Structure 1
Amino acid sequence: MNWDHYIHQFEHYLKLERSFSPNSVEAYIHDVIKLKQFVEISNLQIDPLTISTKHIQDFIVYINELGMTAHSQARMLSGIKAFYKFLLYEEWIDQDPTALIEGPKLGRKLPDTLNLLEIEQLFSAIDHSTPEGSRNRAMLETLYSSGLRVSELINLRLSNLYQDIGFIRVIGKGSKERLVPIGREALKYVSIYVEEVRCHISIKKGFEDHIFLNRRGAALTRVMVFTIIKNLARKIGLNKKISPHTFRHSFATHLIEGGADLRAVQEMLGHESITTTEIYTHLDRDYLKQVIQEFHPRS
């Protein structure tokens, strides 16, 4: 018997014995499938009956590192706890590995994420009639579309933009490279900026290949990107402490909560593995692009 068998039995239990609504059943199954995916990408040769408390704890750390909010983590843990209560009820296990695991403290301060409406409001607050506005829209669309770190954004090169296939080549931590899909909306605004604004800037030597430039023709600084985002948040009265990393957290959270595979999100964020085995899972480019198109709100 494997994960799919137990998940299937759990689904029957929720539908027939608990009479849960279709949406509730789907949410519970979604939570358990995420745990299954974590086991697979961690190369753990275990099934639901042999998983340990330590494995569950590692999973919670994993989804936290991906940027999921405390509420999302707590909801996902609740679904997994229900699954193990079911296995205990059916006497397939005699000890619940989730019994001693507490959910994240919902009152503690964790990085904020933005919902889709807030992202739309931030984008709408940008003055597109100015050269800086065109650049800022392209930057923020890229941050949210591809989940980049701010350092990766300001160092993005024209030579690393592959518009024909909808990918960008990103130089991440430790000079590691990865290919990341970029959505249609982000590509549209990057093209507008490059073709209508950037071409009129007097570019300083050494910055000819940088996509995003300041008005003096040099690369933007991290501080400048932070300032742009904070000013936009203030403009729309957003009562959240946000930064460039907020867009990265939002990117990951929206994909995961929309049903995207953990392995794909891990690859796009440029995480090696945060488990002790330090696994790095490489996925097919077409599959990564499909994940963006299926699960990203702006695709």
Structure 2
Amino acid sequence: MTPPMPPTQTPLGRAVGDWLDHLRVERGRSEHTLSAYRRDLRRYLDFLGDHGITAAGEVRPEHVTQFLAHLRAGDADHPPLAPTSAARAVVAVRGLHTFLAVEGEVEDDPSRDVAPPTPPRRLPKALSATDVERLIQAASVGDTPAALRDRALLEVLYGCGARVSEAIALDVDDLDLARPEAAADGELPGVVRLFGKGRKERVVPMGRYARDALDAWLVRGRPELARKGSGTPAVFVNARGGRLSRQSAWNAIRAAADRADLRAEISPHTLRHSFATHLLDGGADVRVVQELLGHASVATTQIYTHVSTQHLREVYAQSHPRARR
């Protein structure tokens, strides 16, 4: 008996490869997103293969629905997926079938009516301004190149509201540190050009702390590490002179949190959440915060208004003589 063809070599497997190529080349999706979609779709191909399906035209709506149920239930090789992870997998599956329908490879999209599970709505966790200061100070212990880099990284994440992927993708040409005397004239000392999801560009003002930390890193730290590499234009480089990885950025933040003795779980996104929350607490308009964060819809930004409301409630409860019964 002839053994079954590996899933990635079936007509449907090749279609998956074509779609991922389309996302990378035409849509500019990040390697992180592509890697996640690739894992999800490999599992989808395995599931369909177990049902004898190897071509896109053989997939029916019930197969997509069954795959979603399979993700939520888990199996011997995979634990049950949380709603957020299952939703991402369904998004990948729907994107694939939509692509094939648009390209004319199939007549109908079998995933059209299959909705991803709704993740529970969670408010982002934001640090207090005091804890942010403790974290950043803990990242810059000593005057080594690594310490200068880590402080500059955290200042950019918090001071500019950057995603970690945006920060590590920064090139030196994306910075405009302006003139040092600008602050004395009441101006912000610089701006940074960030490239968000889908390579959407935005320009974000840079405060004095971020500007000074970047200046110190670029002058006193980066040259020593960069000369070990092959001339990368990256702002943030590792010990070998190459572009800093996402994982290394996470490690730097975790190490700083440990040194600062901060008990909360802290990630690069925690600093982005804190950036947005502190702006709103300071009276910034939600649409201004939307532009600074690079959100396509103000509805995405409005979740931070709930965080600010919670902060106001806490202050009221602690401060107002009539707050407690």
Choose the corresponding residue for 1:246, options 270, 279, 292: 270
Code of the aligned partner of 2:197: K
| Structure 2: distance between partners of 1:215 and 1:251 | 28
2:163 corresponds to: 149
Closer, same or farther: CA 262–111 of 1 in aligned 2, 3 Å = closer
1:137 corresponds to: 151
Unaligned ranges ≥5, structure 1:
1-104, 277-299
| Structure 1: distance between partners of 2:159 and 2:142 | 19
| Structure 1: distance between partners of 2:191 and 2:203 | 6
| Structure 2: distance between partners of 1:200 and 1:124 | 22
Residue 204 in structure 1 maps to residue 229 in structure 2: yes
Please state how far the C-alpha of 1:109 moved relative to its aligned partner.
6.1
| Structure 1: distance between partners of 2:272 and 2:143 | 27
Superposition pairs for residues 111-260 of structure 1, below 5 Å? 111-125=124-138, 126-164=140-178, 166-201=190-225, 202-205=227-230, 207=232, 209-260=233-284
Residues 117-145 of structure 1, C-alpha deviations (whole Å, 9 max, x = no match): 10111122231322100110111011110
| Structure 2: distance between partners of 1:268 and 1:185 | 17
Closer, same or farther: CA 193–175 of 1 in aligned 2, 3 Å = same
| Structure 2: distance between partners of 1:263 and 1:232 | 32
Contact 2:145 2:224 survives alignment (8 Å): no
Of 228-237 and 134-143, more deviation after overlay is shown by 228-237
Contact 2:137 2:151 survives alignment (8 Å): no
Closer, same or farther: CA 169–203 of 1 in aligned 2, 3 Å = farther
Closer, same or farther: CA 255–234 of 1 in aligned 2, 3 Å = same
| Structure 2: distance between partners of 1:262 and 1:203 | 44
| Structure 2: distance between partners of 1:247 and 1:127 | 19
Closer, same or farther: CA 176–203 of 1 in aligned 2, 3 Å = farther
**Percent sequence identity over matched residues?**
44
What TM-score, normalized by structure 1, do the two folds share? 0.54
Contact 2:286 2:298 survives alignment (8 Å): no
| Structure 2: distance between partners of 1:275 and 1:176 | 18
Residues 228-264 of structure 1, C-alpha deviations (whole Å, 9 max, x = no match): 1111111222110110000000000000111001111
Secondary structure of the structure 1 residue equivalent to 2:229: coil
Code of the aligned partner of 1:149: R
Code of the aligned partner of 2:132: I
2:25 corresponds to: none
Please state how far the C-alpha of 1:204 moved relative to its aligned partner.
2.6
Residues 69-108 of structure 1, C-alpha deviations (whole Å, 9 max, x = no match): xxxxxxxxxxxxxxxxxxxxxxxxxxxxxxxxxxxx9xx9
Closer, same or farther: CA 257–138 of 1 in aligned 2, 3 Å = same
1:76 corresponds to: none
Code of the aligned partner of 1:114: L
Please state how far the C-alpha of 1:203 moved relative to its aligned partner.
4.8
Higher RCO, Cα 8 Å, sep 6+: 1
Code of the aligned partner of 1:143: L
Residue 270 in structure 1 maps to residue 294 in structure 2: yes
Alignment RMSD, CA only?
A: 2.0
Superposition pairs for residues 280-291 of structure 1, below 5 Å? none
What TM-score, normalized by structure 2, do the two folds share? 0.49
| Structure 2: distance between partners of 1:206 and 1:196 | 17
Which of these two proteins has the greater Rg computed from alpha carbons?
Answer: 2
| Structure 1: distance between partners of 2:289 and 2:228 | 35
2:110 corresponds to: none
Code of the aligned partner of 1:112: K
Aligned residues: 169
